[in-house]
């Protein structure tokens, strides 16, 4: 084989890509800023130094249309639309019951349950497109992490990696496998069967899952969201719950200060008429008309409200601009030093009358208060936990009496559309899995459906779209386009082949695997598969060996998209929920790539008979 002559545009492209990867890793600048700078640099390069795609005078120039095509790439559209679909599930609380079921299992045997869940994810990914599977399990893993008192960063990346590993087992496990199979068939090779590479694929998946379950979580940082870090998870609010007829609290009794329906919440006082009952509440059975004063963190109060919204009477909900009922929002406000409510009890403040919001709890840093919440006299600096329609909560920004703590706002799930959200999501998964329409179209249909039936509005859908993901994908596809057009990828492949060809097929196969595994984290996995399949087949034929092993090597290596967030779309899906940085993927994914490469390099010569 001869090595193609490198052009200066090729070396310039290499330099730009290397610089971008360094900036991504050190995170000196925001990821979207680096992506935008890379796109601009590539556009300038090929505007002033035009390069023809196709050659022989019959091609077209590498222009802005080609370099910016990533913004319209179906993979990007699918990822962004699935983010909207996932937000619809979260906004309606559609998966809460499943999450609680998983959480109970995790509390009993957390390590075993986590391992079982990841194995299930990998198994499903072998037969169903892994993108919707990851979307299903993102909220589940987030809730599990919360139950285990871990940051979501410990579980989200294992979720993505398990799905990618499962996709290595069967022909339909990932789109990468199908692309390689199609490229091989077009070159005259026998069509790949459904389980043709299941044996080596299962071995690599098992080796990878062992790492993902036992080692990867230890390498990832314990990183929570900014809101949870600032919220002070441990601070206690005094809250009051009025037991009304039909309330789930009717007939319950407190045991050791706890009631079964108020999990984790400490009951401090039960007021029945003029009589107040203090712990341990012996023989006190809750009845309509009772008032229960509790102490709990905001997190526990929020969970109780999400499980049972009827615990608190919020009054009539206002309507938004579309005429639909508005969703309730939880927030914290602080009593300002010059507020006119200082010294007044909550009973006399008339907070609901003036603001349309209900005070759920009061937190005072100096001491824990005992007594009915409505009798507490407010002081400057008191933090009030309030609940109300979103429009009324945001109006508190202009209040002179209280200061809205912006990062504390949290919209409660709107369960009215939970069944509709589940039906839409199930439809997206079914359509994508059966291949009736492309996954990008199925995801777009799901996003439109979520908005159309009211699971979330346009504002919430827009907020679900991550601009970092959009810019990363567009920049990655532009890098791949430039590398292919300048011959950079082919130059690296042919140079490697010329170097290792004399060492035998086993060494060359291992070297090819390593190169493809590196390139799939820089290019898109689809571009890598299409680019290297002909190179792998021609290499095998030049050596006089059966091309099957080389085709399988491209499949497995192109799926090793673990070291960068843009390597595979499931990595992008978990980047936001896991609060990951670019370097986190390199730290967690590079050892996995090396491990799979070593496993394949040792197993392939025996399995393929080299």
Residue-level pLDDT at 315: 47
Residue-level pLDDT at 309: 67
Q: Are 581 and 565 in contact (CB under 8 A)?
A: no
Place of tokens 């992490």: 145
**Edge-to-edge strands, sheet with 266-272:** 275-277, 266-272, 291-297, 236-242, 358-363, 383-389, 328-335, 402-411
| CA distance readout (Å), 20 to 169, 375, 476, 576, 582 | 33, 60, 10, 21, 12
Higher pLDDT, residue 551 or 295? 551
The structure's pTM equals: 0.61
pLDDT digits (tens, 9 = 90+) for 211-268: 999 999 889 887 655 444 444 455 678 887 888 887 778 888 766 556 767 777 878 7
Rounded to an integer, the average pLDDT of 417-438 is 81
Residue 51 — pLDDT band, cuts 50, 70, 90? confident
Residue-level pLDDT at 590: 94
- The percent of the chain in helix, strand and coil, each rounded to the nearest 5, is 60, 10, 30
Residue-level pLDDT at 557: 95
On the 0-12 / 13-18 / 19+ scale of CB atoms within 10 A, 406 is: exposed
Residue 470 — pLDDT band, cuts 50, 70, 90? confident
Say which range, 52-56, 346-350, 394-398, 437-441, has the weakest mean pLDDT.
52-56
Higher pLDDT, residue 437 or 307? 437
Residue-level pLDDT at 245: 82
In 225-379, which ranges are continuous DSSP H helix?
A: 226-231, 298-307, 346-349, 351-355
Residue 310 — pLDDT band, cuts 50, 70, 90? low
Say which range, 15-29, 166-180, 543-557, 580-594, has the weakest mean pLDDT.
15-29
Residue 143 — pLDDT band, cuts 50, 70, 90? low
Residue 59 — pLDDT band, cuts 50, 70, 90? low
Terminal Cα-to-Cα distance of the chain (whole angstroms): 21
Residue-level pLDDT at 99: 63
Say which range, 19-23, 165-169, 323-327, 353-357, has the weakest mean pLDDT.
323-327
Residue-level pLDDT at 159: 93
Tokens coding 554: 């491209």
pLDDT digits (tens, 9 = 90+) for 90-109: 778 776 666 667 666 666 66
Q: Measuring CA to CA, which residue among 332, 331, 446 is closest to residue 87?
A: 446
Place of tokens 């399949």: 533
Residue-level pLDDT at 441: 87
Q: Are 239 and 385 in contact (CB under 8 A)?
A: yes
Residue-level pLDDT at 202: 95
CA of residue 554 relative to chain centroid, distance: 27
d(CA 94, CA 421): 7
d(CA 566, CA 475): 9
On the 0-12 / 13-18 / 19+ scale of CB atoms within 10 A, 601 is: middle
597: helix, strand or coil? helix
- Residue ranges, comma separated, of all CATH 3.30.70.1450 domains in the chain are 232-305, 328-411
Task: For the chain, give the mean pLDDT.
Answer: 79
Place of tokens 């430039």: 482
Place of tokens 């990655």: 476
pLDDT digits (tens, 9 = 90+) for 346-372: 878 888 888 888 888 888 765 556 667
pLDDT digits (tens, 9 = 90+) for 530-551: 777 877 887 787 777 888 999 9
Q: Give CATH superfamily name and number for 232-305.
A: Regulator of K+ conductance, C-terminal domain (3.30.70.1450)
Tokens coding 533: 């399949």
386: left (phi over 0), alpha (psi -120 to 50) or beta: beta
d(CA 575, CA 530): 26
Residue-level pLDDT at 103: 62
Helix (H) or strand (E) holding 60: strand 60-61
Tokens coding 230: 């600032």
Residue-level pLDDT at 499: 79
Residues in the chain: 610
CA of residue 124 relative to chain centroid, distance: 18
Rounded to an integer, the average pLDDT of 471-489 is 76
CATH class of 328-411: alpha beta
Rounded to an integer, the average pLDDT of 398-418 is 79
545: helix, strand or coil? coil
Place of tokens 């909550």: 346
Calculated CA dihedral for residues 48, 52, 58, 60, nearest 10 degrees:
-70
Query: Is 207 a residue whose pLDDT tops 90?
Result: yes
Residues ≥6 apart with Cβ < 8 Å to 127: 170, 172, 173
Rounded to an integer, the average pLDDT of 359-386 is 78
Residue 591 — pLDDT band, cuts 50, 70, 90? very high
d(CA 255, CA 253): 7
Q: Measuring CA to CA, which residue among 520, 563, 474 is closest to residue 25?
A: 563
The HSE-up count of residue 247 (CA atoms within 13 Å, CB side) is 24
Query: Is 527 a residue whose pLDDT tops 70?
Result: no
Percent over 70 (pLDDT), the chain: 82
Rounded to an integer, the average pLDDT of 147-164 is 85
Residue-level pLDDT at 327: 65
Q: Measuring CA to CA, which residue among 89, 14, 113 is closest to residue 523?
A: 14
């Amino acid at each position: 084989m001869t090595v193609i002559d490198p052009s200066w545009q090729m070396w310039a492209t290499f330099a730009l890509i290397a610089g971008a990867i360094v900036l991504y890793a050190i995170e000196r600048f925001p990821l979207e800023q680096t992506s935008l700078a890379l796109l601009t640099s590539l556009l300038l390069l090929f505007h002033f130094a035009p390069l023809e795609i196709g050659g022989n005078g019959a091609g077209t120039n590498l222009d802005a249309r080609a370099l910016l095509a990533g913004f319209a790439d179906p993979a990007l559209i699918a990822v962004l639309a699935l983010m909207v679909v996932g937000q619809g599930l979260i906004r309606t609380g559609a998966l809460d019951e499943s999450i609680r079921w998983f959480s109970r299992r995790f509390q009993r045997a957390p390590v075993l349950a986590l391992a079982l869940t990841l194995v299930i994810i990998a198994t499903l990914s072998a037969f169903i497109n892994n993108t919707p599977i990851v979307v299903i399990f993102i909220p589940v893993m987030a809730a599990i992490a919360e139950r285990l008192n871990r940051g979501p960063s410990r579980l989200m990346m294992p979720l993505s990696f398990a799905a990618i590993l499962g996709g290595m087992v069967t022909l339909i496990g990932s789109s990468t496998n199908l692309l390689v199979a199609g490229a091989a068939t077009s070159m005259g090779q026998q069509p790949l069967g459904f389980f043709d590479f299941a044996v080596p694929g299962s071995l690599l998946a098992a080796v990878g899952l062992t790492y993902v379950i036992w080692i990867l979580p230890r390498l990832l940082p314990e990183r929570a969201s900014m809101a949870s870090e600032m919220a002070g998870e441990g601070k206690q609010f005094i809250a009051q719950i009025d037991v009304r007829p039909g309330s789930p609290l009717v007939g319950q009794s407190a045991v050791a200060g706890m009631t079964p329906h108020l999990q984790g919440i400490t009951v401090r006082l039960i007021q029945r008429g003029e009589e107040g009952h203090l712990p341990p509440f012996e023989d006190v059975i809750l009845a309509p008309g009772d008032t229960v004063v509790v102490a709990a963190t905001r997190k526990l109060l929020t969970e109780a409200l999400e499980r049972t919204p009827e615990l608190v009477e919020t009054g009539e909900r206002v309507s938004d601009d579309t005429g639909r009922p508005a969703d309730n929002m939880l927030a914290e406000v602080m009593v300002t030093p010059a507020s006119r409510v200082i010294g007044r009890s909550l009973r006399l403040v008339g907070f609901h009358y003036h603001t349309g919001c209900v005070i759920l709890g009061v937190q005072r840093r100096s001491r824990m208060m005992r007594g009915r919440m409505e009798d507490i006299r407010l002081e400057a600096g008191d933090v009030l936990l309030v609940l109300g329609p979103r429009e009324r909560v945001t109006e508190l920004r202009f209040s002179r009496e209280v200061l809205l703590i912006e990062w504390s706002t949290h919209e409660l799930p709107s369960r009215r559309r939970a069944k509709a959200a589940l039906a839409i999501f199930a439809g997206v998964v079914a359509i994508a899995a059966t291949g009736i329409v492309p996954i990008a179209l199925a995801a777009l249909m799901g996003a439109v459906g979520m908005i159309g039936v009211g699971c979330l509005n346009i504002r919430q859908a827009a907020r679900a779209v991550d601009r970092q993901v959009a810019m990363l994908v567009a920049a990655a596809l532009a890098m791949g386009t430039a590398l292919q057009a300048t011959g950079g990828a082919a130059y690296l492949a042919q140079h490697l082949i010329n170097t290792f060809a004399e060492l035998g097929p086993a060494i060359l196969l291992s070297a090819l695997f390593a190169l493809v595994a590196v390139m799939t984290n820089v290019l898109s996995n689809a571009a890598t598969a299409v680019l290297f399949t002909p190179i792998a087949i021609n290499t095998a034929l030049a050596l006089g060996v059966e091309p099957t092993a080389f085709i399988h090597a491209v499949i497995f290596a192109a799926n090793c998209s673990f070291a960068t967030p843009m390597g595979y779309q499931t990595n992008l899906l978990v980047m936001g929920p896991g609060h990951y940085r670019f370097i986190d993927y390199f730290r967690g994914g590079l050892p996995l790539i090396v491990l799979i490469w070593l496993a394949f390099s040792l197993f392939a010569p025996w399995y393929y008979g080299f």
